Structure 1
Amino acid sequence: MVAPLDLDQLRTFIAIVDMGSFTRAADEVNKTQSAVSMQMRRLEERVGKALFEKDGRINRLTGDGERLLAYARRLVRLNNETLAAFDEEALAGTIRLGTPDDYADRYMPDIIARFAKTNPHVELTITCEPSKDLIEKLNRNELDIALVTHNPKVRNSIMVRSEPLLWVTSMAHSAHTETPVPLAVGRRDCDWRQLGCAALDSVGREYSILFTSWSSTVVASAVLAGLAVSLLPESALRPGMRILTPADGFPALPPAEIGMIRRPGVPTVLMDAITDHIAASLDNMTPPEEGGDPRSPGRKGRNRQKGHLMMSSW
């Protein structure tokens, strides 16, 4: 009989990835650094693959480590949910979660529903605001967890999802052919707005900011009404939208990435339960199916990059 994987080793493995180092992971899982290193050697022996590789003084995940991470998150999450299902008092308390409104609309209903079913005594308080405002609330201890645009140059978040960031217009209108191109984007400090403007500048495409809003609903409405062009992650596409490509004069964009930041001081068991659940849920979500998808003709669905996270900046 094949010996099962050790869940404690998997938890340590996840902590190393999430915390960014063996040293910080040791503090997170309440073990010595030598114990953490020993656990990883045993885990590598168990799966028969190297999980980390040296890059200077930094340990980075190998390709096999990336593969194991997705399974590890699922196994630990399933274990936690199973225990919680048989012990209603296992988790109790309040978690204050912040997220931009577009992610609240697309991701939160399913995430909250499944978490609440297995953790009935945990109260979730959801705040919907732009990433910049969520960071300020987190710093003022007004939030416990924030889902934000992952931007290592601006903030230290753990990336939990990545998917294509796309130019979109209305299938029934031709705003994308106008000069200058009218844009509907986030506020001046929005990461996506800055990416989009820089991309258009790089190809000499004239544009004007016609609509500015932190609400993804307002931006999508402007696009569907044929008033403006915008940029949205693949999972935010709606029926009636058409994707614009370099052939249309719109340069390719870097991926949209979601990051997660957790406030120190929250009970570890409760914080781990919700953050592991969110990370695993986002990692397992797939782009819209081709059938009801607003993609241009002939476009095939692209698989998101596994093992990475994405953020919104509206």
Structure 2
Amino acid sequence: MVRPSEKPNRVHYELDLLRALVTVADCGSFTVAAARLHSTQSTVSQKLRRLEDLAGHRLLDRGVRDVRPTDIGETVLGYARRMLALNEQLGELLSGEGVATVIRLGVPEDFAAGRTTGMLAEFSRTHPQVKLEVSSGLSRALTEAYDRGELDVILVKQRRGSREAVACWPEPMCWVDSISTPSLLLNPVPLVAFPPRGMYREDMIDAIEALGRRWRISFTSSSLGGIQSAVADGLGISLLPARAVTAAHKVLGQESGLPPIEGVELALLHRAALDPQARALAGLLIRMLEQGAA
């Protein structure tokens, strides 16, 4: 009887013995297994006998033509394979081979679909060792996260030349109203806007006040899809990138009296010390934007 304060002797199963068992079971032959292990048949046989002694069970049925695991041998094989796999993973981790490079990318919401996600999916397939973490949101929030060191590469919208960037592209802006139920002539003018501190919000308010029109915020959303739907359904007018205009929107031109909004650009920023994989991703983003809208 083992007393509570005493522990029974534990058997330690060496990986070398378990590897011999797995190889013999997979090959169905001691001779073939010995060749695969770069060993001799007698050495492999000795390892199997030692493992069976430790286990207290016969693990292999040695037939005339082949070798098969016993019932308990099948159970031991399952554990042996997992232990060998864990050992392999640990070796890769410590050698650096299995450590994935993490790239933290931030993009505006209107870039979080379409060509952008297709490009990111292709990048992930061709760079399996890279762990890609993508965040979408308002440009101001993305820039603040970048400044805090939480993002490595960002694509944001900003005032032209307000911040030095790796690459920049003009971002055409459009005033939009609903085709089915327009709101421009209402008094006060209902505005569909991003939350306070959103880039286009102040532009809209300043432009409406410059016309001497009264205004009110009728709908606020941090979601581009929410803004698009609210305008389409007649909740108010808004200011959107040309890429975000849908078939349910009416673009308000000069005849509306609303001034053109210029000076907005797309800017790509990344840190100076960047992994080669992250630089490759930044290069793909640049080529995509140079070819047209996302």
Identity fraction in percent: 31
Query: What is the alpha-carbon distance in structure 2 between the residues aligned to residue 107 and residue 183 of structure 1?
Result: 30
The match for 1:162 is 170
5+ residue gaps, structure 1, are: 1-88, 288-314
1:280 maps to which of 259, 284, 287: 287
**Residue identity matched to 2:262:** P
Q: 1:270 aligns with which of 255, 258, 277?
A: 277
C-alpha deviation, 1:117, in angstroms: 4.1
Q: Is the 8 A contact 1:100 1:148 kept in 2?
A: yes
1:250 is paired with a residue of what secondary structure? coil
Displacement after TM superposition at 1:107 (Å): 4.7
How far is 1:200 from its partner? 2.3
Question: What letter matches 1:270 in structure 2?
Answer: Q
- What amino acid does structure 2 have at the position aligned with 1:95? I
AA of the residue aligned to 2:230: A
Which residue of structure 2 lines up, in the alignment, with residue 120 of structure 1?
128
Confirm or deny: 8 A CA contact 2:173 2:240 kept in the other structure: yes
- Which deviations, in whole Å up to 9, do the C-alpha atoms of 1:264-286 show, x marking residues without a partner? 4332x223211111011011024
The answer to which structure, 1 or 2, has the higher relative contact order (CA under 8 A, 6+ apart) is: 1
Quick one: distance in 2 between partners of 1:154 and 1:285?
23
| 1:180 aligned onto 2:188 | yes
Q: What's the offset of the Cα at 1:154?
A: 5.0
- Residue of structure 2 in register with 1:105 after alignment: 113
**Pair 1:106–1:202, CA change in 2 (3 A):** farther
Cα distance change of structure 1 residues 234 and 144 upon mapping to structure 2, 3 Å threshold: same
Map Cα deviations across residues 149-184 of structure 1 (whole Å, 9 max, x no partner): 122575433443323200011110121121111011
CA distance in 2, matches of 1:245, 1:132: 28
**Distance in 1 between residues matched to 2:104 and 2:254, nearest whole Å:** 41
C-alpha distance in structure 2 between counterparts of 1:157 and 1:203, whole Å: 34
2:74 matched to which residue of 1?
A: none
- 2:224 corresponds in structure 1 to 216
Q: Are residues 1:134 and 2:142 paired?
A: yes
After TM superposition, the score normalised by the length of structure 2 is: 0.61
Letter in 2 for 1:195: D
Give 1:239-258 correspondences, 5 Å limit. Answer: 239-254=247-262, 256-258=264-266
* 1:191 matched residue in structure 2: 199
* Unmatched 5+ stretches in structure 2: 1-96
1:159, 1:175 → 2: CA distance? Answer: 37
Give the drift of 1:115. 2.4
Answering whether residue 212 of structure 2 is matched by residue 204 of structure 1, we say: yes
Structure 1 pair 163–106 and aligned structure 2 pair: CA distance change class (3 A): farther
Task: State the shift of 1:252 in Å.
Answer: 1.3
Q: Deviation at 1:109?
A: 1.5
Distance in structure 1 (CA, Å) of the matches to 2:146 and 2:205: 29
- Report if aligned partners of 2:166, 2:270 keep a CA contact under 8 Å in 1: no
Distance 1:226 1:133, change over 3 A: same
User: Could you tell me the TM-score, scaled by structure 1's length?
Assistant: 0.57
Partner amino acid for 1:271?
Answer: A
Aligned to 1:96: 104
Distance 1:196 1:280, change over 3 A: same
- Count of aligned positions: 197
Amino acid at match of 2:242: E
Residue matched to 2:80: none
Q: How does 1:12-161 map to 2 (within 5 A)?
A: 93-151=101-159, 155-161=163-169
| Secondary structure in 1 matching 2:208 | helix
What amino acid is the match of 1:263? Answer: R
* 1:259 equivalent in structure 2: 267
Q: 1:102 offset after TM fit, Å?
A: 2.1
What amino acid maps onto 2:287 in structure 1?
A
Deviation at 1:134, TM superposition (A): 1.5
Structure 2: how far apart are the matches of 1:190 and 1:102?
A: 14
Corresponding letter in the other structure for 1:197: I
Cα distance in 2 for residues equivalent to 1:138 and 1:264: 13
